[in-house]
Structure 1
């Protein structure tokens, strides 16, 4: 069964159905304007990728798409097609447009944690209870879908486990039955969907990150800590650890230690009203209909969240996310500004899974394939290739992650190639953008090297 990371399935179906009934859904067999489709194909350094993106828009698969690709320290190559909404008058999608990156927030949070690990203020294998006492005595559900009956956890949850989704925590978008109801009862709902759903979620959700973390500790775990990979709210809890260890609000730490030094001026926890014109509308597919789920003009991201969500809270431009990846590709520095030491970056992008734990690969809900032929591990907030891909691309050691609304990010530290792809629609795997874009990019790069 496919799951959409970042939104509850029933809520999504209800919203899409309502939109279709109200005549807001757009049939995607409508002709598309040539003005929208072609945006400099002949001038593009990446013609295969440009043609792929233009085809997506021409065929009505998405209103717009933007990508940023970098090779070493050469100027970033931006490829774009279409608009920020299906409205013919909507702004064109550009490298400075704003997109909900959802789980692509996780690598940012993880690197914030790695800064503190480098400083010795957090230990990779410290127990989480050192920073959040509520995690001192965790329980593990024996049959989480049917009962909250539990047994004591055999080992403490560690920072490593939060960073790699091996803590035994889960997600309201993953859990089922009794454990799902408990997550909902406790308000463990760390994501913003749209203005219609948000009031109900806000009533259930704790008002602060500290209170949220304490609520998470009340729920039984889905597995013994350190024994299995389960996608989770671990990076949201990590945000609270960062607060405690740094003595600063989580979002302030990220803003001052990552965004400001890197010149990432289009990365927001709350989009200012003055920048709303750059924000894409988020859509949802139901059958062959594309319905607006979170229109830009009334987006939930125009209002402050309950607290900053370390697992899904950011809105960013392709230009900004590329600067974050460029810093990683350059070993922790960019334009003369050092964020982390090279050895810290190497550690973060290495396989950090506890001994004996495996990762099955990037699932469709974060824009990947349901099965991956290349063995993969997991680093700080993102997946890691444990072998070279076909033809040597991506390289062993490539790190990255995707988001619930189809966004994709990766950095190949061997070839020093990086990529960011921005779209906004649910479900993320409606189209194989990750696979097709990487193939197209590989074709273009081989042409550039001739």
Structure 2
């Protein structure tokens, strides 16, 4: 499960000056500044390389120019919301030959009709969109980088609605509806148990709970240690459990800081957790669903994650709402969701397929897994692995080499008499050996 953290930047007005170039000196300065056609821009789907202090914009097809410019000393990061708006503009206005461009450097922009936009102040950020059709039209400015389909519709005199914003509103309404759920049942306990089993694993071992046991009678604590090439063992994680085998405290150690996560229960139901008193999670239930609300507000992000059990495979699946706002009045929302499709276990962002995963029958060896990832519908990566049973206490993990298509040893796993993982030895001596130690209640 991946976290996604996005920063929304404040919106500033673009100063659109409707003054005409009225002197040969001004025109000459512009011509001297533009040294090649690289400084012009027209056409679809590109980011403008700017090599001069002034950019000259030619007349032609109707165009929307998106100004996504950050003040100096502010790191410029890709804005997935803007990219989504651009995709919608291109899809919705093909018949109008609408050109969509994005600029992200401070400069002075002069249009064929004589109007100009002064976005040259390096101390300011500019997040706005400008529509321009031809020399007979004035520039039209839209504050911010949201609702650009609506903006283009008004400018072109048509009635085209944004699917993105409509879906965004519905996602927000659905996310809010989960916050008031409170229906604990025996089905809720089943989901909670699967959720808590995942907590027992450290990075790189998350999926091992599907193959090896994660608990046994009277288990009290789990310690995870890493042994480096120097044979020095370092404690990485410690997990403490109550008499019901439920985690009460998880401590992660790194070189500079200790991260503590506390778990709070009401009876046998987990109701809250927090990291170092900084990130707080509230948990409630609705029969076969477990709802985890994270109000961390990291970069103005709130998450609502709904867990359930997939009937076809009994896997723990989730639907995660990521709300990018300080309230729910006009948020930007995405839903990350697991779905079952035939033999595949798929993950989506809204309706976009991000990855799909196939696993063979649990408890039967060799155990096979196939993972495929996508970006914008394009295959990005395909990984195949298998686990072979060597003895009752020894198992080996292999990954398929992308070039030779042969399986190569990656790790060797050892388990104890309870079938619980005790040691992981990597094939590469550059990686640490992982050891798991257990203690038990009297």
Query: Fold match, TM over 0.5?
Result: no
TM-score by length of 2: 0.22
Q: Kindly indicate which of the two structures has a greater share of residues assigned to helix.
A: 1
TM-score by length of 1: 0.22
Which structure's CA Rg is the greater one? 2
Q: Kindly indicate which of the two structures has a greater share of residues assigned to strand.
A: 2
